[in-house]
Structure 1
Amino acid sequence: MADIGPLNPLPVVAAELDQPYTVGEGVPEELQAAARYGVVPNVFPYLMQDGYTREAAPKELPAVVLENRKLRATVIPSLGGRIWELFDKVTGKQLLHTHGAPQLANIALRKAWFAGGLEWNIGTRGHSPTSCDPLHTAIVHTLDGKHILRVWEFERLREVVFQVDIWLPAESAVLFAAVRIRNPNDHDVPMYWWSNAAIPETDRTRVIAPADEAFGSDYATDITRVRPTDHNGYDGTWLVNSPHAADFFFDIDPSERRWVVAADDDGDGLAMLSTGRLRGKKLFVWGQGQGGKRWQQWLSPGAGPYAEIQAGLARTQFEHLSMPAGAEWSWVEAYGNGHLDPDTSHGSDWEAAVGHAGQRLEELLGHEELEAMLPAAITDADVPPSTMLLHGSGWGVVERARRRRTGKGWIDESGTPFVDESITAEQEPWLELLKGKAFDGAPSFVAGADWEEPLERQESPEARFHVATMRHARQDLEGAKAAYREVLAAGGVQSRTLALAHRGLGLALLADGTDREGLNELRSGVQADSSNTALLTEAVTLSIRHDQPAQALELLESAPKEGTAVRRLRFLKALALARVGKAGDAAAILREGVEIPDLREGEDAIAALWEEVCPGEAVPFNYQFGMH
């Protein structure tokens, strides 16, 4: 696979997250309210992970294998603690979509993401900020003889601690995962969680859940109540029937057991079961259109098509739940081969298929047996690690220090210790600030009033710049502009800070509709730090977006000739040329070939430009990324 590359140095301050889809007919008011609740403008204080390319090379990663005579599970702690393989030894089948060449792509909240395996998503709608980060990882031995693999981290967007305990009993046909989220705050927190499993897609794969209806979205229309088995004239529970990308959030009655299962031509496939708190169950397909097929090739080169089945706290991924102050939420998930009878599971009688699947899954793991495992899992969650395998980020250490300084509560770290060995240059300046030391800048960012107060007491322009970013991230545009201007008026400002202050002021002005002045500030930022290709790329993009393609071409004269940003800059040059009336030059670039490693999910800009500058010519397959 490709290296993830360096973090993007630009603070994520603009209101740039996609907002939830609008809600259509038949959707309950409480779901609509939950879709409006907890929406964030961005993922500040995280930085984006977009320094990767599509140039793969052999890469060695630490892995942990849990194995008995029925199953073998492989976990990759350094990439979000993902379960990468779940191999059924009885049938010789991989229950998860997995492959030997994971391809990084712009799908997650911080951009970098890869398809395959089973991942843990927390924070807000989208793939987790920790998707490609190493998590704290340890082996835990309990008094009753369990051997548990534990991964955990401090999630910075919601300021909560999450952990996943994974274990495989000696004779078990299912793998278990116990999840715990802890809210140490003295206020409610909007909470989001979805466990996402990629499954192989075949012509005969069907997904079954105990519900007749679902909340559906096809990435082009409102969320509506639908019947998956009769949706727009086709049965969407068969993976290959959907013409376009689609979500089906099964509306499972609260009295029903929570499960979803995939069944191939033999009736084999992944079953996801959970205790009651994990209410939501979902099917996602890329669809059979050219865009869906292209996305699957882009994400899993040579590995074949895949779909996803998921389990979440809410009924849909458009919702957040309110997690009370000081609360702890726990549940247990189980994964194994459903071993359905294909004649029934693939029959035309949906009610019979659901009844049969429910019976088979009860035989695989009884409902009462799974529910009875929760109290022990809650107790085990505090058992101290026996052997540390990997350190995650140092932000848990920083958060503990911040809370102690302000007299606020924190978690019991017995089971999830945050250790000083995890501290890096990203966290060191903030720990020093908490100790009252002089602050002279940091490569990372923090959020919250508890940080603004000590920064306000500092005299350096670097401290003032960080105050500006915090105001900007929470969309206090007037306060941000004032602080940015103070930085720009100060003397002796580091070139990096000077460039980012120009950039921040420019973004705030653009958000206020002051386009010309805002674009001028972006250009000044590029001139202040010509080595910052991320800043250049953003300035070029926004110049085109705000109808100043000539400025974009002027900025592109200083573009680097190599590096990760070159490929997107090449496309942006074609786009700018088209906007100044040079369609032939733009077409020549497209015909020669462009590739954007961090192409955003659903971004169809290359195809749109091709249709504009090469009228009458079919869009090449490798340029088709439309979701619908």
Structure 2
Amino acid sequence: MALVTRIRRAVLTLPAAEPGPDNPLPPLRPLDEVHRLDGPEPSGMSPDMARRLGLAPLRDLLPVRVRDGYDRMRAPRRLDALVIENDRLRATVLPGLGGRVVSLLHLPTGRELLYRNPVFQPANFALNGAWFSGGIEWNIGATGHTTLSCAPLHAAPVPAPDGGPMLRLWEWERLRDLPFQVDLWLPDGSDFLYVGVRIRNPHDRPVPTYWWSNTAVPEEVRILVPADEAWHFGHERRLRRVPVPSYEGVDRSRPLAGSHAADYFYQIPDGRRRWIAALGADGHGLVQTSTDALRGRKLFVWGSGPGGRRWQRWLTEPGTGGYCEIQAGLARTQLEHVPLDAEGEVSWLEAYGPLDAPAEGEWGEAVRGAARRLETALPRARVEAAYAAWRAHADAEPGELLATGSGWGALEVLHGSGKLPGTPFPESTLGEAQEPWRELLRTGALPAPRRAQPPGETLVAPHWRDLLESAPADPHTEYHLGVAQWHAGDRAQAVRSWERALPGAAARWPLLRCLAVADQEDGHHDRAADRYAAAFDDLCDHLRRELPGAGVPDADGEAWTAARAALGRESLRALLAVRRTADARAVWERLPPAVRRRGRFRLLEAELLLAEGRAAEARAVFDTDFEIADLREGEDVLGRVWATLTDEPLPAHYDFRMRPGPA
């Protein structure tokens, strides 16, 4: 008896690390994003690609916060899931973690079509930190993994074109201020999951847009795609055109053939059907195809070298298989952004399902064979028809909420972004983080916090900055105004706002920290160190004054511990940079013991000991085999510090190198 398509709730229980609190310090600097070009643009690219490579790079991550409070202590944890299934496929979605499709099970054969991570382990890969591997992820915002990787989305059923149910996911992406939706649809009897995506620009100005759908698949496969050339991008940050599938004597269609992590952005000729498949030696695997608006196709591989193998083990359970990613995006490469017209939108339909085709043999023959099998299983015309049918339902109002995202979209709608059919952002979703900003919108004044706590999030879009500029100029408002001005590029005015706020501020440390960052950006490193030391002193004094018992480790709560850790980390780095080891030691000694035990702080301890001339003790820190939970993709600090201690090879458990050559 056929199973009629349905949506149901489920719970996944996985070994999972706790996400922890967000970093309360506003991210005034952009993260060291690995996906950027160093050096001149390569020759051979089209004019539109050249324009898009330099389009509106991020100044910083504002208004989003960095998510770095997670650890690597995993324990069984229940994760709310939503399942959409028919008698052929079962898709399992985690609405609380970016809407990730963590499983796509082909029911007749029992085959899992995706790489399904057996654990939830955040790692520092998203633009704002926490990200996890596996499944299908929806990346919107700017080059890199979305800031919504570990954030909740709204979810609800809507009517599908065939009369059955469709699962809608939606949110307000805050880096570019764009609402978007992802509709998952399984027609009865279909072997393919349809995914309709729409991004809307409610503003009166063009906005740079970015989208890549990233699908993790087991790496013991061959990747087939209708292309004979690709742009290769590695962690040396150069873009070059290479033949497909082989160059430098290596067949790059096999993810384990190369030694280092790399991206291959395939150049599919205009007019050809857009698809990419990952097939095992037995010819079974996954194919992804779409309407032509989703132009790009990409392969990401970790490579067979020790660094890539270390990252694979880092992101999952040791002993489990590795993965690669096949991806699809709006542009030819992930280094580009596409302009979205004022009050415009862009949409497309994707399809994911099983494909059986010979993977071995000569490249052209294998690609043509897979294309024929795809056309038989899912004709291109059927995808186009499904897209047209879905567009007629894209504005359908969702039913009962199955999951709730953030209140930021509701706040933007309140400000006047207008009604967005199909993606409601009701006032009922407003929470504590949005409440001061709703009050600013309603009264023209930003209320001060009702209790002692680190500063809340700052809104930085032009319309919010205008409201801050016209609000009464108390220290709390001046702090947030300075952050918004900094984001807008008016750094001199931001500094003036922070300096004006200092004399009357109940807590000076947030302002001093912002001024210290400004000093560093201007090259005034000694003055930055002074301000960091003063900021950390003020934070410790503030805790003693405002929170009785705060001297007891963690008695001040999660938010204050996060503040001490974040400010302490930045202060230590600033003080060590100007060789003020005694002041750095004073900061270290006032950190909570639990913070000092974290891997990131063990590394800082080793650097402090080195600066104090205590190399043997610094080496002893490394001998404890610490782990840095938030080690950044491409970060080589472990290798650099190790090289100052010894000429011995970098131990394997510290080797996360993602490019050729020494650390």
TM-score, length-scaled by structure 2: 0.90
- Counterpart in 2 of 1:246? 262
- Counterpart in 1 of 2:585? 553
1:96 Cα deviation from its structure 2 partner: 0.8
Q: Are the equivalent residues in 2 in contact too, given 1:208–1:262 (CA < 8 A)?
A: yes
- Matching residue within 501, 513, 516 for 2:523: 513
1:480 Cα deviation from its structure 2 partner: 1.4
- Answering whether residue 643 of structure 2 is matched by residue 611 of structure 1, we say yes
1:446-485 deviation line (CA, Å, top 9, x unaligned): 0123222322321321000001111122332211111111
- Counterpart in 2 of 1:591? 623
- Answering whether residue 53 of structure 2 is matched by residue 39 of structure 1, we say no
Aligned mates of 1:575, 1:516 — CA distance in 2? 19
Secondary structure in 1 matching 2:138: strand
- Answering whether residue 226 of structure 2 is matched by residue 226 of structure 1, we say no
Aligned mates of 1:479, 1:62 — CA distance in 2? 45
- Counterpart in 2 of 1:406? none
Return 5+ residue gaps in structure 2 as ranges: 1-15, 450-454, 541-559
Secondary structure in 2 matching 1:587: helix
- Counterpart in 2 of 1:574? 606
Which sits farther off after the overlay, 119-128 or 81-90?
A: 81-90
1:320 Cα deviation from its structure 2 partner: 0.3
1:155-181 deviation line (CA, Å, top 9, x unaligned): 111111100000111200111100000
1:143 Cα deviation from its structure 2 partner: 7.1
1:500-525 deviation line (CA, Å, top 9, x unaligned): 10000000011011111111111111
The aligned runs of 1:115-134 (5 Å cut-off) are 115-134=133-152
The aligned runs of 1:161-180 (5 Å cut-off) are 161-180=179-198
Q: Are the equivalent residues in 2 in contact too, given 1:15–1:475 (CA < 8 A)?
A: no
Aligned mates of 1:385, 1:221 — CA distance in 2? 43
Which sits farther off after the overlay, 53-62 or 85-94?
A: 85-94
Aligned mates of 1:483, 1:473 — CA distance in 2? 13
Aligned mates of 2:434, 2:410 — CA distance in 1? 9
Matched residue pairs, number? 611
1:221 Cα deviation from its structure 2 partner: 4.6
Aligned mates of 1:362, 1:138 — CA distance in 2? 32
- Counterpart in 1 of 2:511? 501
The one-letter amino acid of 2:616's match is: G
The one-letter amino acid of 1:436's match is: T
Return 5+ residue gaps in structure 1 as ranges: 404-408
- Counterpart in 2 of 1:191? 209
- Answering whether residue 498 of structure 2 is matched by residue 487 of structure 1, we say no
Q: Are the equivalent residues in 2 in contact too, given 1:142–1:383 (CA < 8 A)?
A: no
- Matching residue within 375, 383, 389 for 1:376: 389
Aligned mates of 1:98, 1:472 — CA distance in 2? 41
- Answering whether residue 79 of structure 2 is matched by residue 79 of structure 1, we say no
1:563 Cα deviation from its structure 2 partner: 4.2
- Answering whether residue 566 of structure 2 is matched by residue 525 of structure 1, we say no
Q: Among the aligned pairs, what percent are the same residue? A: 39
Q: Are the equivalent residues in 1 in contact too, given 2:161–2:389 (CA < 8 A)?
A: no
Q: Are the equivalent residues in 2 in contact too, given 1:8–1:534 (CA < 8 A)?
A: yes
Aligned mates of 1:173, 1:211 — CA distance in 2? 25
- Counterpart in 2 of 1:419? 426
Q: Are the equivalent residues in 2 in contact too, given 1:188–1:322 (CA < 8 A)?
A: yes
- Counterpart in 2 of 1:145? 163
Aligned mates of 1:469, 1:213 — CA distance in 2? 44
1:142 Cα deviation from its structure 2 partner: 4.4
Aligned mates of 2:198, 2:597 — CA distance in 1? 39
The one-letter amino acid of 1:7's match is: D
Which sits farther off after the overlay, 385-394 or 192-201?
A: 385-394
Aligned mates of 2:238, 2:311 — CA distance in 1? 23
- Answering whether residue 58 of structure 2 is matched by residue 58 of structure 1, we say no
Secondary structure in 1 matching 2:608: helix
Secondary structure in 1 matching 2:53: helix
Aligned mates of 1:127, 1:509 — CA distance in 2? 30
Indicate how the Cα distance of structure 1 residues 544 and 431 shifts in structure 2: closer, same or farther if over 3 A, else same.
same
Indicate how the Cα distance of structure 1 residues 494 and 365 shifts in structure 2: closer, same or farther if over 3 A, else same.
farther
- Matching residue within 87, 105, 111 for 1:69: 87
1:157-207 deviation line (CA, Å, top 9, x unaligned): 1111100000111200111100000000101000100000000112xx100
1:372 Cα deviation from its structure 2 partner: 1.4
1:144 Cα deviation from its structure 2 partner: 4.2
- Matching residue within 357, 374, 389 for 1:361: 374
- Counterpart in 2 of 1:430? 437
The one-letter amino acid of 2:466's match is: E
- Answering whether residue 286 of structure 2 is matched by residue 270 of structure 1, we say yes
- Counterpart in 2 of 1:399? 412
Aligned mates of 1:62, 1:237 — CA distance in 2? 36
Q: Are the equivalent residues in 2 in contact too, given 1:17–1:41 (CA < 8 A)?
A: no
TM-score, length-scaled by structure 1: 0.94
Secondary structure in 2 matching 1:390: coil
Which sits farther off after the overlay, 171-180 or 84-93?
A: 84-93
> What RMSD in Å do the two structures reach over aligned CA positions?
1.6
The one-letter amino acid of 1:181's match is: I
1:52-108 deviation line (CA, Å, top 9, x unaligned): 110111111111111222211101111001101011223322111113212110000
- Matching residue within 471, 483, 488 for 1:469: 483
Q: Are the equivalent residues in 1 in contact too, given 2:17–2:74 (CA < 8 A)?
A: yes
Aligned mates of 1:27, 1:301 — CA distance in 2? 41
Q: Are the equivalent residues in 2 in contact too, given 1:191–1:320 (CA < 8 A)?
A: yes
Indicate how the Cα distance of structure 1 residues 17 and 171 shifts in structure 2: closer, same or farther if over 3 A, else same.
same
Aligned mates of 2:379, 2:218 — CA distance in 1? 26
Aligned mates of 2:251, 2:581 — CA distance in 1? 46
1:262-301 deviation line (CA, Å, top 9, x unaligned): 0101111111100010000000000111000000100112
- Counterpart in 2 of 1:10? 25
Q: Are the equivalent residues in 1 in contact too, given 2:161–2:393 (CA < 8 A)?
A: no
- Counterpart in 2 of 1:260? 276
Indicate how the Cα distance of structure 1 residues 469 and 383 shifts in structure 2: closer, same or farther if over 3 A, else same.
same
Q: Are the equivalent residues in 2 in contact too, given 1:20–1:35 (CA < 8 A)?
A: no
Aligned mates of 1:283, 1:478 — CA distance in 2? 43
Q: Are the equivalent residues in 1 in contact too, given 2:117–2:135 (CA < 8 A)?
A: no
1:558-593 deviation line (CA, Å, top 9, x unaligned): 121114973211111101222343221110111122
- Matching residue within 329, 332, 335 for 1:312: 329
